Structures are given as C-alpha cells and as structure tokens.
C-alpha cells in the first residue's frame, strides 16, 4: 500500500475478531523495557542522588585520609582519591542534571514525548553499566592510581562508556527542545531550564568527545607499560579543572531562574538577558581547548574565568530580583537553590583569583593547586568540590521544587527547610576546607583540621543528597498521585498529566504565545472576571 492510498471501509479488517487480553508487564519488564521519559528520568534522578551520597562519603574518607595520613591503606587511598572526582562528576552530578532534564524538559516545552526515547533508555542502562564497571575497576586496583595492569584499561574505558551514555541522553533532550516544542513556543520563549539544557547539550557534546579522544589515544598508546599514576591521569586531568569543570553546572542556572520565577509567580524581566547569561556561561565553560598546563597562564584563559563569573552573576542577580518582586514564600527548595548558586558564584570567584594569580610568569599569590592523582589538597580541588556541591544541592532542591510533576505529590515543606542549613554549611565547608589549604598552606594541626572540615562538608552534602534520594524513592513508590489544584509556576510542566498516566498532557495544548503560558491564562481569566 502506497502512502497516498486509503484503506477501503468495506475491506475486511486484518485485526483479529476478538482481542485477546494482554498480560500485564511485570515490574522488571516495565523498568527495563520502558521508553517513557518520565520513568527514565526518575531512574536517573534516584540513582544519581544515591550514587552522589555514596561518592560524597568516599570523598569524606579521602579528605580525612589526606589530613591524617593514617585512616586507609596507602594504595587504597591513592585509588580512592584519584577516582573519586569521576564518581562525583560522571556517576552523580552529570546524570542528576540529565535525569531532571529527561523528565522535565518535554513537559516544559509541551512535547508529547522525549525525542528518541529508546536512545534515552539505552543511555540510562549504558551509564549504569559504566558506573558498575568503573566501581569494579577501581576496587580491583585497575583504574587511576592502581597497580593491576591487567585491569588497567577498564577504568578509563568505563569513563568513556559513561561519557558516551551521557552524550546520547543529552542529545535526546536538546532535540526535544528544537524539534518537539509545542505550537507557538519560540526558542526565546523556552523555559530557562530547557534553554540551559540546550546550551548544556552543546557543551557536553563538544567537551565529552574530547575526553573520549584523550582516553582513546591513551588506550592505544601503552597497553603494556601503562602508568596509571602518571600519563593516564594527566590525559584527563583538564576535565577536572576550570573552565571544563563548569559544564556540569550550566543547568544549575536554568533551574534557579525557573525556580525563582515559579515560586514568586512573577515574570522574569529581561528574559532574553537571562537566556544570554546562561548561553555566555556555557560559552565560557568550554574547556576542550585548555587541555595542557600552558593554557592556564594565557590571557584567554583568564578572560574565560572572568566571563564565567560575570555570566553567572547576571543570571543569579536577575533571578533574585524576580524573587524579590514577586509573592515569594520561603520554601526549602528555593533556600537550597540560593545556597547552590552562592556556592557556584564562590567557585567562579576562586577561578578568577587563580587565573589572575597564574597569568604570566610565576604565581601572584600563594596558591597550592592540589591534585587528585598526587593526593594533595589545594585550590583546584576545592573549586571542583564547590562546583559539585552546588550541582548536587541544586539537584536536591529541584527534586523538592518539582516534586508534584515528578512524583504526583508535594514533598512536605519542612523536609526541604530542614535540609537547607545542612546544604549551606556542607557545600561551603566541602570546598573551602581545601581552598583555605591552597591559599594558606598551613601545616600540622591546622592542615589536618581543615581537611576534616572538608570531610564534614562532604558528609553534609551527602546527607542532603540522600534526603532528596529518599524523598524521590518514596515519591516514586508511594506517591499519592493526587492532582493538586494549585498551579505552582507559570510554565507548562505544572499542568502536565499525573505521572501515572501514559500521556504527558490530558488535553491538547492551546497555542503558546510567551514564556509563561499559565500566567497568561491566569491573567486573561482575571481580566474576564473583572469585566
């Protein structure tokens, strides 16, 4: 039958006369075989929150060992410290942002589904496989800092698998925004989080392949005489430094901007300026060009770090202004969101100080940078911890803020408020313990205390992550799925169908004519009543 042919109504139906009842898929079949973006997104969020909590406990152990030098076996400690940043980034922070995007972006842009949902499902399972392989590799002495040459390739290979999986996932999200937006919604009207995910996708897809290329060359280079403590790590170290480390935090700005406008129920003034700020932050976090140490003493490098700080400041300042102008009630999620962006701003500020210090010849300030492979504390290590802290805390905040679209019920306000102080103290201590060691170069007890302080910070952020993870698990399992009448934001995800439904929206959406369709609807209803 050709495309233009129409089947005759009189023709005998090819369908069986009586439909046989289909067996209900089991929980395992539903889980493994799903191509529903909401299920995939929830799995990503829950798993990455749990992995983040575990990786932060490992980070705490690493810090305590660095301080005391006696907690762990020396070999184990070397592997733990060298591999932990990859766990924190690729097994926790990156997938946490991706999971939220896989779930929320199609709802925010009014799409019936995620683009290429089976590819997104594949990305979830490939990523999970990568996390398992990576953990096996470093536990079995075969990843960075290890001694087992037979298992040498497994660690970098699993990092490559995780990076590829994340690339596939973020590609699906970006295509959804470009090709599956609801009618009338231009790219300039796209909610901030969805817009930030487009920027994120561009940056991840241009940075992670460079990481893959570094791993590929190393895999080919010296398979027999591999040095897991030297060259192998040097090839990927740039990924843990600024500006590349900031690519994980691009969605933090989008989430915060949406959270502020939604909580305040107030339109963002200068919508395009905030979008431009997010895009600029993305642009300045492109770090694939700065893979060698010499790049760090160039003017362009310094300009990138200053640009990062300014762009973040524009977005955070504009969003905070919206919060101030609107009908804002203090909530745990917004409090945690504020903690997250303040932490991120501090991380960019440290970047500026470091870049100014290393510009030209020599260092302007005392600046011990620290290194994961040498297990030394310092400013670069602390900066990465701040970025990870900001991302994990924002992930937890978003889980609470969007709990109704995510799980069908609202997480009690008190839970978020109770975790907010832990998030604030934790995120700051986690990074600043290391940063102060880098600038102050203390020795003896002060050094020990500062690294223990950093460990305490890691545990507190881990607590926040675990709290959000538990709330997410309970939400996914035991959520009441009650439809709350109150709409909590101006964007489309707040009128999405209950998570238990198969369709994203119960009814076809009306033509969208601005970034806040629900606020438009409210205002037109109010005008109608007043007439």
Partner 1 sequence: MTVLPAEVAPGALPRRRQLLFGTAFAAAAAAMFELALVGMYLSERGANRGVWFKEITVPLTQPNMQLGTLLFGSLFIQWAVWAIARNHRSQAYVGLALTLLMGLAFLNQTTFLWQMVKLPLARVEGPTFYAVTGGHFALVLAAMILIALMAIRAVGGQFSSRLPDGISAAAMFWHVTVALYAVLWLAVYVMK
Smallest separation, CB 140 to partner 1 (Å):
25
Distance from C-alpha of 52 to C-alpha of 399, rounded to nearest angstrom? 14
For partner 1, the closer CB: 5 or 485: 5
Residues 6 or more apart whose CB falls under 8 angstroms from that of 528 comprise: none
The counts of H helices and E strands in the chain are 17, 0
DSSP string across 291-342: -SGGGGGSHHHHHHHHHHHHHHHHHHHHHHHHHHHS-----HHHHHHHHHHH
Distance from C-alpha of 385 to C-alpha of 245, rounded to nearest angstrom? 10
Smallest separation, CB 251 to partner 1 (Å):
17
Smallest separation, CB 171 to partner 1 (Å):
5
Q: Is residue 130 within a helix (H) or strand (E), and if so which, with residue range?
A: helix 117-139
Smallest separation, CB 441 to partner 1 (Å):
33
For partner 1, the closer CB: 214 or 358: 214
For partner 1, the closer CB: 211 or 424: 211
Smallest separation, CB 82 to partner 1 (Å):
22
Residues 6 or more apart whose CB falls under 8 angstroms from that of 233 comprise: 82, 144, 145, 372, 373
Cβ proximity of 113 and 505 under 8 Å: no
For partner 1, the closer CB: 179 or 449: 179
Distance from C-alpha of 46 to C-alpha of 30, rounded to nearest angstrom? 17
For partner 1, the closer CB: 2 or 28: 2
For partner 1, the closer CB: 160 or 351: 160
Smallest separation, CB 180 to partner 1 (Å):
6
Q: What is the signed CA dihedral for 5, 9, 10, 15, rounded to 10 degrees?
A: 90
Nearest alpha carbon to residue 245 among 365, 363, 344: 344
Please write down the long-range contacts of 1-4, taking CB distance under 8 Å and 24 or more positions apart: none
For partner 1, the closer CB: 463 or 512: 512
For partner 1, the closer CB: 175 or 521: 175
Smallest separation, CB 92 to partner 1 (Å):
22
Distance from C-alpha of 441 to C-alpha of 454, rounded to nearest angstrom? 15
For partner 1, the closer CB: 212 or 495: 212
Distance of CA 293 to CAs 59, 235, 236, 297, 358, Å? 25, 11, 12, 8, 11
Cβ proximity of 100 and 47 under 8 Å: no
For partner 1, the closer CB: 27 or 220: 220
Smallest separation, CB 258 to partner 1 (Å):
23
C-beta atoms surrounding 278 within 10 Å: 28
Smallest separation, CB 110 to partner 1 (Å):
12
Distance from C-alpha of 144 to C-alpha of 78, rounded to nearest angstrom? 9
Smallest separation, CB 209 to partner 1 (Å):
4
> In degrees rounded to 5, what are phi and psi of residue 135?
-65, -45
CB-count burial class (<10 Å; 0-12, 13-18, 19+) for 376: middle
State the Rg of the chain over Cα.
24
Distance from C-alpha of 163 to C-alpha of 236, rounded to nearest angstrom? 12
For partner 1, the closer CB: 286 or 430: 286
**Binding residues for partner 1, per CB under 8 A?**
2-6, 115-116, 167, 171-172, 174-175, 178-180, 201-202, 205-210, 212-214, 216-217, 220-222, 288
For partner 1, the closer CB: 136 or 295: 295
**Residue ranges in 33-93 assigned as alpha helix (H):** 37-68, 74-88
Smallest separation, CB 398 to partner 1 (Å):
24
Smallest separation, CB 447 to partner 1 (Å):
37
């Amino acid at each position: 039958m050709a495309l233009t042919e129409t089947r005759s109504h009189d023709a005998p139906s090819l369908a069986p006369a009586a439909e046989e009842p289909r067996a209900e898929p089991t929980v395992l079949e539903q889980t493994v075989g799903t191509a529903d973006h909401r299920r995939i997104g929830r799995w990503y969020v829950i798993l990455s929150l749990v992995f983040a909590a575990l990786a932060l406990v490992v980070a705490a152990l690493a810090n305590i060992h660095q301080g005391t030098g006696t907690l762990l076996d020396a070999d184990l400690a070397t592997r733990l410290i060298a591999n932990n940043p990859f766990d924190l980034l690729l097994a926790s922070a990156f997938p946490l942002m991706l999971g939220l995007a896989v779930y929320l972006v199609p709802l925010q842009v009014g799409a019936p589904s995620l683009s290429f949902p089976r590819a997104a499902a594949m990305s979830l399972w490939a990523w999970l496989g990568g996390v398992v392989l990576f953990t096996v590799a470093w536990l079995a002495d075969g990843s960075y800092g290890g001694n087992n040459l037979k298992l040498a390739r497994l660690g970098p290979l699993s990092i490559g698998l995780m990076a590829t999986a994340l690339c596939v996932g973020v590609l699906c999200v970006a295509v959804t925004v470009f090709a599956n937006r609801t009618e009338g919604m231009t790219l300039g009207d796209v909610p901030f989080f969805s817009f930030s995910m487009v920027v994120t996708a561009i940056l991840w897809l241009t940075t992670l392949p460079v990481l893959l290329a570094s791993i590929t060359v190393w895999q080919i280079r010296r398979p027999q005489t591999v040095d897991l403590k030297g060259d192998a790590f040097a090839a990927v170290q740039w990924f843990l430094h600024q500006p590349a480390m900031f690519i994980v935090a691009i969605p933090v700005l989008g989430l915060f901007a949406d959270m502020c406008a939604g909580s305040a129920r107030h339109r963002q003034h200068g919508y395009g300026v905030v979008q431009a700020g997010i895009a600029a932050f993305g642009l300045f976090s492109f770090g694939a060009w700065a893979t060698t140490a010499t790049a760090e003493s160039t003017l362009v490098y310094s300009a990138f770090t200053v640009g990062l700080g300014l762009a973040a400041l524009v977005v955070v300042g504009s969003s905070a202004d919206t919060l101030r102008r609107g009908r804002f009630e203090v909530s745990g999620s917004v409090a945690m969101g504020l903690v997250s962006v303040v932490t991120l701003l501090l991380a960019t500020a440290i970047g500026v100080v470091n870049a100014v210090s290393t510009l030209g010849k020599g260092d302007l300030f005392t600046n011990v940078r620290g290194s994961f492979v040498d297990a030394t504390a310092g400013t670069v290590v602390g900066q990465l911890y701040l970025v990870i802290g900001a991302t994990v805390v924002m992930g937890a905040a978003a889980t609470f803020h969007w709990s109704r679209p995510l799980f069908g019920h609202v997480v009690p306000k008190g839970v978020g408020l109770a975790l907010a102080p832990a998030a604030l103290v934790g995120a700051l201590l986690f990074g600043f313990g290391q940063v102060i060691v880098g600038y102050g170069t203390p020795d003896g007890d002060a050094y020990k205390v500062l690294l223990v302080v950093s460990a305490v910070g890691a545990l507190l952020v881990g607590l926040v992550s675990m709290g959000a993870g538990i709330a997410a698990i309970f939400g996914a399992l035991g959520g009441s799925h009650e439809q709350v009448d109150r709409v909590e934001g101006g964007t489309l995800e707040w009128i999405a169908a209950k998570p238990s439904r198969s369709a994203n929206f119960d009814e076809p959406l009306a033509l969208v004519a601005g970034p806040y369709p629900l606020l438009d609807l409210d205002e037109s209803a109010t005008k109608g009543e007043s007439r």
